């Protein structure tokens, strides 16, 4: 007998009932539907760099892919050459002593996979995972898929979007296994300070919680004299922390899917154990190209920093011209985070009207967690002329702050 539309197939795991549709996938459906109607969509949704991968990295990939030695299975943890390049880049970038490429580093298939796997490595059913809100949606869904309980740590504008560790209840901290944080922050663009990281490390040690710092935007700070920090610039961090990096945003390699994690040997071992059971590593040719990316010419980073800063200032100036007050201008990342006008009931309502009236895609703040409500995000991954056009359309359609 065929199933009715109300029935759910019995072969679908119940855990999926806890998982909402992935934010960007849903936004993309609406975007494609509008395009089919002939709408010129300005996509300020996903932070996917619009600039090409630097030429010398692409050339290294061309050379590597022609070598049959790259065509077999790669080492699960990454090739020795890639891990060596990763820890050397890391030590040079943050002026730190060398990390052990074998026990304190593992290659990853970008950041999303690595984040999910660290939850699998640490969170059992009934455990708490401490996650920022607003934050990357994968933090919450990974907790739920592991059978854990997500505890949202609010990022509030009055605190500079830094986590308030003192507000975490004692009983939650005692049951927590993992605390994840992300600075420079997606979606707010906020930076962390050394003093903040010191508090985080002390908190992790007190409750024996692994600290995982998602440092995906480490190379996207706007001020060359105020570069984003590593958590390992704090003494004792390696006792309790790991840090994750991606070549996606700094090296324009989003589709290449490659990154790495460094830090506490037990945390790295746990992450490696998960990886060996569910993936087979990154294509060797990509790893060779990544070695060139990390050890070669870095001049493109200055170009990208200036490019994203210019776009951020254009977006912020445009919003100001429409009545917005920008109290915390973005210091980095690919994003501008702003409040929705008070007349809208929700960030989803505002985002829907932006698309329906002006053909502009922006993610609603609620998509990044309950404390993202009341905000929306602008991705700086389009030319400034398109951002200017978006501001013009907002003005024409009455999408102003007041």
SS3 annotation, 186-245? CCCCCCCCHHHHHHHHHHHHHHCCEEEEECCCCCCECCCCCCCCCHHHCCCHHHCEEEEE
Q: What is the DSSP letter of 53?
A: P
Q: What is the CATH number of domain 55-295?
A: 3.40.640.10
Closest CA to 129 of 101, 149, 144: 149
On whether the CB atoms of residues 176 and 210 are closer than 8 A, the answer is: no
Residues linked to residue 244 through DSSP beta bridges, in sequence order = 214, 261
Closest CA to 362 of 44, 33, 11: 44
On whether the CB atoms of residues 246 and 259 are closer than 8 A, the answer is: yes
Query: Residue 1 has what pLDDT?
Result: 45
For CA atoms 322, 192, 84, 139, the dihedral sign is: negative
Q: Domain locations in the chain?
A: 14-52+300-396, 55-295
On whether the CB atoms of residues 155 and 192 are closer than 8 A, the answer is: no
Query: Residue 29 has what pLDDT?
Result: 83
Distance CA 133, CA 160 (A): 13
Tens of pLDDT, residues 8-26: 788 999 888 888 776 667 7
Tens of pLDDT, residues 50-72: 999 999 999 999 999 999 999 99
Same fold flag, 14-52+300-396 and 55-295: no
Q: Which CATH class is domain 14-52+300-396?
A: alpha beta
The whole-number average pLDDT for the span 214-242 is: 97
Confidence class of residue 2 from pLDDT cuts 50, 70 and 90?
low
- Angular region, 323: left φ>0, alpha ψ -120 to 50, beta rest: left
CA 218 to chain centre: 11
Mapped onto helix, strand or coil, the DSSP state of residue 2 is coil
Q: What residues contact residue 246 under an 8 Å CB cut-off, 6+ apart? A: 108, 110, 111, 216, 258, 259
On whether the CB atoms of residues 272 and 83 are closer than 8 A, the answer is: no
Q: What is the mean pLDDT of the chain?
A: 95
pTM, entire model: 0.95
Query: Residue 87 has what pLDDT?
Result: 98
At residue 252, φ and ψ (nearest 5 deg) are 55, 45
pLDDT higher than threshold 70 for residue 210: yes
pLDDT higher than threshold 50 for residue 232: yes
DSSP element (H, E) containing 67: none
Strands 360-361 and 375-379: unpaired
At residue 242, φ and ψ (nearest 5 deg) are -130, 160
Lowest mean pLDDT among 29-38, 156-165, 255-264: 29-38
On whether the CB atoms of residues 241 and 201 are closer than 8 A, the answer is: yes
Helix and strand element counts for the chain (H, E): 12, 11
Confidence class of residue 86 from pLDDT cuts 50, 70 and 90?
very high
Query: Residue 11 has what pLDDT?
Result: 92
CA atoms within 13 A on the CB side of 203: 25
pLDDT higher than threshold 80 for residue 131: yes
The residue to which tokens 């996903």 are assigned: 46
């Amino acid at each position: 007998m065929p199933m009715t539309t109300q029935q759910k197939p019995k072969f679908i795991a119940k855990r999926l009932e806890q998982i909402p549709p992935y934010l960007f996938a849903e936004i993309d459906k609406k975007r494609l539907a509008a395009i089919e109607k002939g709408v010129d969509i300005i996509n300020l949704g996903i932070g996917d760099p619009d600039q090409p991968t630097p030429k010398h990295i692409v050339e290294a990939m061309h050379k590597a892919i022609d070598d049959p030695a790259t065509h077999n299975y790669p080492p699960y943890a990454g090739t020795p050459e890639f891990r060596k390049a990763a820890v050397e880049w890391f030590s040079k970038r943050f002026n730190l002593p060398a990390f052990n490429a074998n026990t304190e580093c593992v290659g990853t298939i970008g950041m999303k996979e690595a984040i999910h796997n660290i939850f699998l490595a640490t969170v059992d059913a009934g455990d708490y995972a401490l996650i920022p809100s607003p934050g990357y949606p994968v933090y919450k869904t990974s907790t739920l898929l592991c059978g854990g309980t997500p505890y949202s740590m609010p990022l509030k504008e009055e605190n500079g979007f830094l986590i308030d560790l003192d507000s975490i209840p004692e009983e939650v901290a005692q049951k927590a296994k993992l605390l994840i944080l992300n600075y420079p922050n997606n979606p707010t663009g906020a930076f962390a300070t050394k003093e903040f990281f010191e508090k985080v490390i002390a908190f992790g040690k007190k409750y024996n919680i692994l600290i995982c710092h998602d440092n995906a935007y480490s190379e996207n700070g706007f001020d060359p004299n105020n570069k984003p920090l590593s958590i390992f610039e704090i003494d004792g961090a390696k006792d309790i922390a790991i840090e994750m990096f991606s070549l996606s945003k700094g090296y324009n390699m989003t589709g290449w899917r490659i990154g790495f994690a460094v830090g506490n040997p037990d945390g790295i071992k746990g992450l490696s154990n998960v990886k060996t059971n569910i993936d087979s590593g990154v294509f060797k040719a990509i790893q060779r190209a990544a070695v060139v990316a990390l050890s070669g010419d870095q001049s493109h980073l200055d170009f990208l920093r200036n490019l994203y800063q210019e776009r951020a200032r254009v977006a912020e100036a445009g919003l100001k011209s429409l009545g917005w007050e920008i109290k915390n201008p973005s210091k980095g990342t690919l994003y501008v985070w702003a409040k929705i006008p008070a007349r809208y009931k929700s960030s989803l309502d505002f985002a829907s009207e932006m698309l329906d009236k002006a053909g502009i895609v922006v993610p609603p703040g609620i998509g990044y967690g309950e404390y993202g409500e009341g905000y929306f995000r602008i991705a700086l991954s389009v030319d400034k002329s398109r951002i200017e056009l978006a501001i013009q359309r907002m003005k024409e359609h009455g999408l102003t702050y007041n």
